[in-house]
Structure 1
């Protein structure tokens, strides 16, 4: 079994592969997630053409692309297979029609993507996210219920788990059978001007260094040890402390 330490590269999304590979390897990481989005160096329309070469440039610096943040269209799956990228990370967004209908809509997208995931042998990972998204590990697990575990994974996130009010010793165990990547960052609430339309009202999340936030990283590490994962580490990216742990093989 191979373990990779990976860093989110969204703050440097416009960098070409060679420069990004030097940066990530210089930070001491052997893995990276790269965005395939509008405005990034690799866009969805260019993914099939540009992603394989981009990934190859990172590999020349000893950096493996463990996931992309992107869409679930067939061209993205094809690009990932050609590039050797094992996972597409997505989030489950909630629309104005309410939670139940939004979840049904996201589930339909996941069901439509399942045959592509199997055909191209590329996993789909659903990450909980605070705010107008499915925000809990249990919610992500519910979304994936009945889909093939080999290609339908949960991306567990320490900060968003804490924002959901959950205990990592519980949620990591719940998602263990589908756990694809562990995201490490941390967060607190800070006061803001009252806004009746905002999630959290007069409070907003503020991302902070790992030891300073709501998530108990010691509890996370201990639970990962019990589950057979080695202790994760983190690095600063932009204003957040973010890293991820990927298990493959």
Structure 2
């Protein structure tokens, strides 16, 4: 599995300097990052054309790459990623009150319009499944993406959100395999938020460490190895216990690497 590279989403470290972030990511055992190219982070979209290539160089000095960004699908983001050598822009598709099919049609219309930018800049749009009012399961993700060349629009499959949807990981991964570019390692379970005396039960996801939760990282890694997956595994560093993120992410990258 020498082709697998490990990334971490740096959303939790919004106020950390670039040098300190790079040192932490490298010491923790990652090969690179997914960067939140959003307002308030180390590089903001409005400055991406000048500052994103600088960030890439700073990380390269520590032997790290930027494998993807989480950002909007604006042309300035495509152009900045191309200049910086970042291949994927990650996004998710919300489902509004009018339902699933209209959400797919709106997303496909947007993608159709942006294929020209994918070609012009050599950038791929990566679409992630997300539990709740999003395109959430693997079948829905395939339905959205199947018409596209995966060099233009591809799948980023998330283990926690797949598990929260109740899908078997092997079935979910097999559904999107033709378009799979990245796998998010994350874990969660549903936790009840009110007591039994309430009129109606309410639940919410609790994001936890890799060994816990509904998703079996071991099974997922086993399936990826069985099909000789050669892409990026991104640990998203999302924990409901946000105060211990540094401790948990170090434990989780060690566990994830051990599975491969």
| TM-score, normalisation: structure 2 | 0.84
Shift in CA distance, 237/19, structure 1 to aligned 2, threshold 3 Å:
farther
Matched residue, 2:212: 212
Partner SS state of residue 229, structure 1: coil
* 2:10–2:237 Cα contact (<8 Å) kept: no
Shift in CA distance, 118/126, structure 1 to aligned 2, threshold 3 Å:
same
Find the aligned partners of 1:121 and 1:14 in 2 and give their Cα distance. 31
Per the TM alignment, residue 229 of structure 1 is displaced from its structure 2 partner at its CA by: 2.6
* 2:4–2:233 Cα contact (<8 Å) kept: no
- Please list every run of 5 or more consecutive structure 2 residues that lacks an aligned counterpart in the other structure: none
* 1:221–1:232 Cα contact (<8 Å) kept: no
Shift in CA distance, 138/187, structure 1 to aligned 2, threshold 3 Å:
same
Is residue 221 of structure 1 aligned with residue 216 of structure 2?
Answer: no
Matched residue, 1:44: 45
Per the TM alignment, residue 113 of structure 1 is displaced from its structure 2 partner at its CA by: 1.7
Q: For each residue in 1:179-233, what CA deviation from the matched residue of structure 2 results, as whole angstroms up to 9, or x when unmatched?
A: 1111001111111138xxxxx9611110111111101222111110111037969
Find the aligned partners of 2:132 and 2:165 in 1 and give their Cα distance. 10
Stretches of 4+ aligned residues off by more than 3 angstroms: 230-245
Partner SS state of residue 211, structure 1: coil
* 1:210–1:234 Cα contact (<8 Å) kept: no
Find the aligned partners of 2:227 and 2:55 in 1 and give their Cα distance. 34
Per the TM alignment, residue 65 of structure 1 is displaced from its structure 2 partner at its CA by: 0.4
* 2:81–2:87 Cα contact (<8 Å) kept: yes
Find the aligned partners of 1:152 and 1:236 in 2 and give their Cα distance. 24
Find the aligned partners of 1:237 and 1:98 in 2 and give their Cα distance. 28
Q: For each residue in 1:160-180, what CA deviation from the matched residue of structure 2 results, as whole angstroms up to 9, or x when unmatched?
A: 000111111111122112111
Per the TM alignment, residue 59 of structure 1 is displaced from its structure 2 partner at its CA by: 1.0
- Please list every run of 5 or more consecutive structure 1 residues that lacks an aligned counterpart in the other structure: 195-199
Matched residue, 1:197: none
Per the TM alignment, residue 101 of structure 1 is displaced from its structure 2 partner at its CA by: 1.8
Q: How many residues align?
A: 240
* 2:159–2:215 Cα contact (<8 Å) kept: yes
Matched residue, 2:110: 109
* 1:17–1:55 Cα contact (<8 Å) kept: no
Find the aligned partners of 2:189 and 2:43 in 1 and give their Cα distance. 32
* 2:158–2:186 Cα contact (<8 Å) kept: yes
| TM-score, normalisation: structure 1 | 0.88
Per the TM alignment, residue 34 of structure 1 is displaced from its structure 2 partner at its CA by: 0.5
Find the aligned partners of 1:56 and 1:27 in 2 and give their Cα distance. 20
Find the aligned partners of 1:219 and 1:204 in 2 and give their Cα distance. 24
Find the aligned partners of 1:201 and 1:105 in 2 and give their Cα distance. 33
Shift in CA distance, 232/108, structure 1 to aligned 2, threshold 3 Å:
closer
Question: Once superposed, what is the RMSD of the aligned Cα atoms?
Answer: 2.5
**Greater CA drift, 226-235 or 173-182:** 226-235
Shift in CA distance, 29/144, structure 1 to aligned 2, threshold 3 Å:
same
Question: Which structure 2 residues correspond to residues 11-90 of structure 1 after superposition, within 5 A?
Answer: 11-90=12-91
Is residue 168 of structure 1 aligned with residue 169 of structure 2?
Answer: yes
